[in-house]
Amino acid sequence: QVQLVESGGGLVQAGGSLRLSCTASGLIFEDYSMAWFRQAPGKEREGVAYISWNGGSAYYADSVKGRFTISRDNAKATLYLQMSSLKPEDTAMYYCAAARSRGAIAVVTPPAYKSWGQGTQVTVSS
């Protein structure tokens, strides 16, 4: 079955950087649009960044635009999220997710994401 495993979370000071990784197995990675979501305690889950199957299209939430970069390495079946200029409000559990699509445009509809990882915690101290 599809398995997504996130890593790279941790504790960082405001202004710092982290790079999250998500390694996929049990699927043909190139057949999927991928995304990062996050959920903070007491808040709804939100989509952070989305990327098309070949990396040609990416979309970011306004809250992270210019600070986060989503990328993927299809040869390694791995998704990345480079996070810079981190803020305390970025503190959340971060999840990667997969939506089956080889469309040119990244899938930005959360219900389309059927496969999810277990998450990695990111904590940004002020």
**What is the secondary structure of 68-111 as a DSSP string?**
EEEEEETTTTEEEEEE-S--GGG-EEEEEEEEE---SSPP--GG
Q: What is the per-residue pLDDT for 74?
A: 98
CA-nearest of 116, 31, 38 to 81 is 38
CA distance 14 to 82: 15
Taking the alpha carbons at both ends of the chain, their separation in whole angstroms is: 40
Q: Give me the chain's average pLDDT, please.
A: 97
pLDDT digits (tens, 9 = 90+) for 46-100: 999 999 999 999 999 999 999 999 999 999 999 999 999 999 999 999 999 999 9
Q: What's the pLDDT band for 104 if we cut at 50, 70, 90?
A: confident
